[in-house]
Structures are given as C-alpha cells and as structure tokens.
Amino acid sequence: MSTKTIAFFNNKGGVGKTSLVYHVAWMMADMGMQVVAADLDPQGNLSAAFLDEDRLESLWPEDKHPATVYGAVRPLKRGVGDVEDPLVESIDESLGLIPGDMALSEFEDDLSQVWPKCLDGDERAFRVISAFWRVLQRGAGLHQADVVLIDLGPNLGAINRAALIASDYVVIPLGPDLFSLQGLRNLGPTLREWRRGWSERRPKNPDSSLSLPEGQMQPMGYIVMQHSVRRDRPVKSYDKWIARIPSTYQQYVLDQNSPEVPAVNEDRHCFATLKHYRSLMPMAQEAHKPIFHLKPADGALGAHTYAVQDAYRDFLDLTRSIAEKAGLALP
C-alpha cells in the first residue's frame, strides 16, 4: 500500500505556500505523525526553510547533487538506470525532508517530451513520468512515514504535472486578491485535464511490474493566507475578493454550479483563514523553527508570546482538518 501524498499548490506565487507546508509538516510531527516533506520546487525554498546554508551547500555541490531529489532521478535522466533511493534528511524524530535542488529544472524537458509518448506505450516514458511518485514512496518507506507533503513551484509546467500526478490530494493556498482568483480559474481546468490525461495513459503501461500512481490529485480545499487584519477582521478593501473565493473555487476547481454559495467562514471547502503573523515570521526564519515553537530566547517576548499561542491553535486546527479530510489516522 502506498503512502498518502498531499500537494500544496497554486500557480499564483506569493501566497505563503512554502511557509504553509513547513508549518503543517511540523505540526503533524508534533501531533505524533511520521512526516516526510518533499521539496519539488526547483527554487528550493522549503529546503532553505528547514536547513541552514552550510548544510544546503553540502547538499548542492557543483557536480552530481547525489543527496537531493534531483540526484534520485538523475540516473533515469542520463539513461543509465532508474530512480534511486532519496536522502531523507532527519529534521526531527518524526519529520524528514527530501531536499530540493535548482538542478531539478533540467528534468523539465524530459518530463515534457515523454508525456505524449505514454500514449504509445513507451516504457521509459512511464518510468520518467512516475519518477517523482516512486522517489517519494521510497522516501516514505525509508522514514516509515504516514504522509508525504509536497511543495511545488507556482507554474503549470511539466515538473508540476508530474508532481501532481504523484499526489493523492491537493490543498490550494490563496490570497484575497484578483490574482489568486485568476489562479483558481486556470488551476481547476488544468487539474481536470491532467487527471483525464493520466487516466488515459496509465492503462497503456507495458510493464506490469512498474508501480504507477493513481493520479487522483483530488482537491481537498483551500486556505486563505496572509490577509491583513484590523481588530481581528480583514481589511475592508480585501472583503470583495474574499467574498468571491467560494463561488470561484466551486465553479472552476470543483466544476460545480450552485445557486447558493456560502461565505468563506461557512464554506466546507475552506480549511482556514490564516493571519500573516508578520512580526513572528522573521524570528522563525532566523531560528529555523515554526512560529509556534518560538521561545523568549528567540525574541518572542511580551505580546509576541500570545501571538505564538494563537499561531499554535491556528495550525493545530488546520492540520487536524487536513489530516481528517485525507483519512489519516491521528495518534
């Protein structure tokens, strides 16, 4: 049985996606789950959140990059073998990281070229398209993980298509703005097209021993990120964008139309609306900690102490909801 995979994705950047993956991964680990976070964004921002520069430099030497996700798929890219076991960097007893790599962008052309070849039953094409999924499953096995959380870059390219094919579920972070709504309008139809395309290709696999992902990429819901607050309410100028999110999500992501659309705070597809926690984020980045782990020694003094407690409650509720919706057993 494969380990469940959850991708956090929006083709609109700047919505706090990487920070969200980082904090949910830590919270799941705090809750007693075994978690692998996988950095499939060639920018490597998730890896930089978990690791300091010295460790990153050791993972990204000038030649082969053997200890990253790119190193795991490189033999397949070079035509000298199949995927290898990835390094699962130990972050905590319950949390591991499959490090990302800017060199992963070199895999984009291969993934683009083999997509049509799957329709011809080309075995190598299936090995390339399924490479991420097989690497993630191997990493999950090495860590004995309950779940893999995947961070992706903000685009609709071939790398993200292969990564989303490797995903059972998709969580969509959003900002309360026009660009996030446009992102939803692009993302929903694309997910359906990729799901349909993979279901058409998957039965043409000529090697019955080659394990392939189901490619469900089922939308789980959305999270409204980084809204400014005054007296615990969104700034008025953002209200109109927040109000449009439920109907846009329903129409474009779920391909449904309903005469009655709920408000965000009543929408069952909305996991949460999260504050930005602006003053805490620099402290957390400096300490390489989630904001809900910050201590007075890290600078979380006075009013920051209460903000840390608020952040803990917010991410605890969010993570429980994600786990329950994914059918993950909570310890």
Please choose, from the candidates 294, 273, 271, 270, the residue with its C-alpha nearest in 3D space to the C-alpha of residue 282.
294
In a domain, 289, yes or no: no
Find out whether 134 and 79 touch, Cβ atoms under 8 Å. no
* Per-residue tens of pLDDT for the chain, all 331 residues: 899 999 999 887 777 899 999 999 999 999 999 999 999 999 999 999 999 999 998 888 776 677 899 999 999 988 888 999 999 999 999 999 999 999 999 999 999 999 999 999 999 999 999 999 999 999 999 999 999 999 999 999 999 999 999 999 999 999 888 888 899 999 999 999 999 999 999 999 999 999 999 999 999 999 998 655 544 555 666 788 889 999 999 999 999 988 888 999 999 999 999 887 777 888 888 888 999 999 999 888 888 888 899 999 999 999 999 999 999 988 7
The enclosing H or E element of 188 equals helix 178-201
Alpha carbon of 217 to those of 118, 170, 273: distances in Å?
A: 19, 6, 23
| Structural domain boundaries enclosing 130 | 4-280
In a domain, 305, yes or no: no
Cα atoms found within 13 Å of the Cα of residue 176, Cβ hemisphere only: 24
pLDDT in tens, 21-56: 999 999 999 999 999 999 999 999 999 999 999 999
Write the CATH number for 35. Answer: 3.40.50.300
Beta strands of 65-116 (E only): which ranges? 89-92, 95-98
In a domain, 328, yes or no: no
Output the pLDDT for position 25. 98
**Whole-angstrom Cα Rg for the chain:** 20
In a domain, 45, yes or no: yes
Report DSSP state, residue 207. -
CA 126 to chain centre: 23
How far apart CA 9 and CA 267 sit, in angstroms, is 20
pLDDT in tens, 58-116: 888 776 677 899 999 999 988 888 999 999 999 999 999 999 999 999 999 999 999 99
Number of domains in the chain: 1
In a domain, 323, yes or no: no
Alpha carbon of 309 to those of 26, 280, 294, 316, 330: distances in Å?
A: 15, 11, 10, 11, 22
Report DSSP state, residue 130. T
Span between the terminal Cα atoms of the chain, in Å: 20
List the alpha helices (DSSP H) in 94-157.
108-117, 123-129, 131-143
In this structure, the number of other CB atoms found within 10 A of the CB of residue 243 comes to 13
Find out whether 113 and 129 touch, Cβ atoms under 8 Å. no
Name the amino acid, one letter, at 327. Answer: G
In a domain, 195, yes or no: yes
Output the pLDDT for position 317. 96
Report DSSP state, residue 269. T
How far apart CA 253 and CA 267 sit, in angstroms, is 14
In a domain, 287, yes or no: no
The enclosing H or E element of 146 equals none
Name the amino acid, one letter, at 12. Answer: K
How far apart CA 101 and CA 256 sit, in angstroms, is 38
Burial of 296 (0-12, 13-18, 19+ CB in 10 A): exposed
Beta bridge partners of residue 221, listed in sequence order: 171
Q: What are phi and psi of 35, to 5 degrees?
A: -125, 140
In a domain, 165, yes or no: yes
Find out whether 330 and 31 touch, Cβ atoms under 8 Å. yes
Please choose, from the candidates 193, 319, 191, 183, the residue with its C-alpha nearest in 3D space to the C-alpha of residue 245.
183
